[in-house]
Amino acid sequence: MLNLILLSIFLNSGSQKEFSADSIPQPLVEYWNWNQHDLPRNAKTKSNASMGLETLKINQPQVLPDPNFSNQKVSEVYQLPFDVPASKGEFAFEFLVLNHVNQPVGFEMLVQNGERPYFAFTYFNRKLLLGREHSKDWEKIEMDVPRWKSYWTHLLISFQNEILEVYLNGEIASQIHLNPQEHDLRIILKSFLENEPYMEIGDLVKQIGYYDQFLSENDVKQRFEKIKSLIDEGKLYPHKFHFNAGPYLSDINSNKSQLVWETDRPAKAIIHYGESATVENKKEEESGEALIKSVILENLNAGTTYYYKIQCISMDGQQIESPVLTFQTAKPSNEPFMFGIISDTESRPQINMRVGDLLWDERPDFLIHLGDLTDGGQKLRKFEWNMEFFQGVGPLLSRIPIAPVPGNGDADLFWYKKYFPNTGPEAYNRFDYGNASFWMLNSNLKNELQKGGSQYEWLSSELKKSNGKWKFVVLHHAPYSADEDDYGNTWVEKGNMGDAKLSDLADLLETEGVDMVFYGHLHTYMRTHPIFNKSIGENGGTVYIQAGGTGGNLEDHAPTRAWFSAKTFRGHHYSTVQIIGEELELRTYNLEGALIDYFKVKR
């Protein structure tokens, strides 16, 4: 009875077999682990029944059979919602792994024949360990795991006539003989995620499929080709109509707001919005061929909460719609405001979601992102946007607008400009909020940020004509850095303490009285003392904030303290800046919400 109940939950949570005209066999039961994160409490838009593998977690598991083949601490245990009947004689299981972290993580599938372990495989630290019951002993086989596009592994096992075939990325890797199946097979999953904070099994295993049939070598090759095409396209689901990204907020000001979204196929959109949840106004966007679309809602009132939802209709009449979401237009210039700071979100949606939860508690008016939204989400790696970036920050961006700059991971601007159409032809621009001005630079074009360069001259002119009480410059790369090895290996020789190609830029910022410069690139936190003319400013100066520790692999500081360092920290973090007229307060927090830095400026 328990298995029947769990199977019902599993199917109703989006895992039901999707039938298509493909000749490739389709899983009887399938789950894609996308969109598993959500904002907390009343901002939550997903039901508990839609949260995937979490519904299958054994909170107080019975004593599990030995052995635990990886000898790792078990993080969570799940019982998959089906038994394989002893009379069946053939089956297949499929796992799609996205491993884009630098710490060892993994999972184990344990198959019990009645109460005894029958066979198991353990994926850990990019190796596969197979185990089988053999003559009352346990036999093990270890092999390296291939990766496609650096991070993906498609793992499929297919069973028939007591022969288990193991495939890795479409190629047969091993074939082993199993003892006769005497009982229904019970499927247990165990995760080993202790080395990666906040990671859950759905952050590592993106798809699980169960087939009630044997898959031939040709079937497996075709299946892997299908999986690859989905990853290349950044499509989350193979057949059903869905949002691939968004909706999310961009380019918000006092009387208008830009909404952006992406569907997996061409679709007409109806945007419903208004000053209450009844969303009485609407605006239509015709289908066309573009999948990433944006619309600007105009004639809005300043400092006002708005409600919105987006309804999409595909060419064949299928419909999807977002939940009713909220945003607030920019506040009048005399009111206090707060913005959040994130950077280098890169490869850990689970960390980015944790940061999103904590920032949501602050309710910032907007976010700035200091670049490397993705680790390498250029033209041929669209999956890093749909399957990593939006998976982590998507829920927050549906309610809080974002203003980014590109990092080296986004340097070709191919997807960056499609997802952020308001950032300018060369991805540098200016915007104002309240009594502050923000200059958003593209520091991938470093020659343009030297004297005589087009971006340098544009910035010089913009700074001189600005009337903002507060001046902020945002870029990705580091004018000043206490990093251990990005600008010379400081463990063996003196480093450059920053990017030498940005020296002219630093001189300009300090001369023109820029209050703060925000950048990432280095995956640590650092705040400088006020700097003027490349020394500590006796009467003030420009403060540089390096805040690159959201979702990327953590880095470290040089072995000795830099002359400009006021505060350093190694660990994932985020920051907020609050402006109250003539006062500024900077706060930086770790993932537990503990304050790690505080800095106040009063004019």
Mean pLDDT of 353-361: 97
Q: What is the CA radius of gyration of the chain?
A: 26
The pLDDT score that the predictor gives to residue 15 is 42
In angstroms, the CA 599 to CA 588 distance is 9
Amino acid at 434: G
Res. 60: pLDDT tops 70: no
Q: What is the pLDDT of residues 561-587, one digit of tens each?
A: 999 999 999 999 999 999 999 999 999
Position 136 scores a pLDDT of 56
Q: What is the pLDDT of residue 4?
A: 30
Q: How many CB atoms within 10 Å of residue 596?
A: 16
pLDDT of residue 48: 54
Enumerate residues 6+ apart whose C-beta is below 8 A from 433. Answer: 253, 330, 331, 337, 339, 365, 366
212: which DSSP letter?
S
Give the model confidence (pLDDT) of 284-317 as tens digits.
998 888 999 999 999 999 999 999 999 999 999 9
Q: What count of Cα atoms within 13 Å lies in the side-chain half-sphere of residue 49?
A: 10
The stretch 132-149 carries a mean pLDDT of 79
Band the pLDDT of 323: cuts 50, 70, 90: very high
Q: Bigger pLDDT: 36 or 144?
A: 144
How far apart CA 446 and CA 177 sit, in angstroms, is 60
With contact defined as beta carbons under 8 Å apart, do 412 and 378 qualify? Answer: yes
C-alpha separations of 479 from 119, 450, 476, 521, 599 in Å: 55, 12, 10, 11, 20
Q: List, by residue range, all CATH 2.60.120.200 domains of the chain.
A: 2-233
If you ran DSSP here, which 8-state letter would residue 447 be given? G
Distance CA(590)–CA(111), nearest Å, equals 40
Look up residue 6 and give its amino acid. Answer: L
158-197, pLDDT tens digit by residue? 999 889 999 999 999 999 888 887 788 889 999 999 999 9
**Fold topology of 337-602:** Purple Acid Phosphatase; chain A, domain 2 (3.60.21)
DSSP string, 220-238: HHHHHHHHHHHHHHT-SSS
Q: What average pLDDT does range 409-428 have in this prediction?
A: 96
- Residues 6 or more apart whose CB falls under 8 angstroms from that of 470 comprise 435, 436, 437, 515, 579, 584
Contact call for residues 511 and 473 (beta carbons, < 8 A):
no
Percent of the chain with pLDDT over 70: 92
CA dihedral 546, 552, 557, 558 (to 10 degrees): -110
Question: Which two structure tokens, joined as six digits, stand for 388?
Answer: 């990593």
Report yes or no: 154 and 96 within 8 Å, Cβ to Cβ: yes
* Rounded average pLDDT over 593-602: 97
Give tens-digit pLDDT for 458-499. Answer: 999 999 999 899 999 999 999 999 999 999 999 999 889 999
* Predicted confidence (pLDDT) at residue 555 exceeds the cutoff of 80: yes
CATH code of the domain made up of 2-233: 2.60.120.200
Q: Please give the pLDDT value at position 68.
A: 54
Of the ranges 65-74, 78-87, 545-554, which is most confident?
Answer: 545-554
pLDDT value of position 11: 36
Beta bridge partners of 249: 259
Report cis status (omega within 30 of 0) of the bond before 247.
yes
Q: Which CATH superfamily is domain 241-330 in?
A: Immunoglobulins (2.60.40.10)
- Two tokens at 374? 């993705």
Are 262 and 394 in contact by the 8 Å Cβ rule? The answer is: no
Phi, psi of 474 (to 5 degrees): -125, 130
Q: What is the mean pLDDT of the chain?
A: 91
Percent of the chain with pLDDT over 90: 77
| Dihedral angle over CA of 253, 254, 255, 261, nearest 10 | 30
- Please tell me the distance from the alpha carbon of residue 475 to that of residue 370, in angstroms, as a whole number: 6
447-450 contacts at long range (C-beta below 8 A, 24 or more positions apart): 447/501, 449/501, 449/502, 449/504, 449/505, 450/501, 450/504, 450/505
pLDDT tens, position by position, 215-227 = 999 999 999 999 9
Closest alpha carbon to 94 in 222, 205, 244, 232: 205
* Cβ-Cβ contacts under 8 Å for 425 (sequence gap 6 or more): none
Q: Residue 14: pLDDT above 50?
A: no
Over 50: is that where the pLDDT of 12 sits? no
Residue ranges matching CATH 2.60.40.10 in the chain: 241-330
Residue 55 banded pLDDT, cuts 50, 70, 90? confident
> What digits encode the pLDDT tens for the residues 22-52?
578 899 989 899 987 889 999 998 755 455 6
* SS3 category, 206: strand
- Residue 464 CB neighbours (<10 A): 8
Using the structure block, give the residue that is written with the tokens 């990204």. 245
The predicted model gives 348-354 an average pLDDT of 97
Of the listed ranges 132-141, 287-296, 550-559, the one predicted with least confidence: 132-141
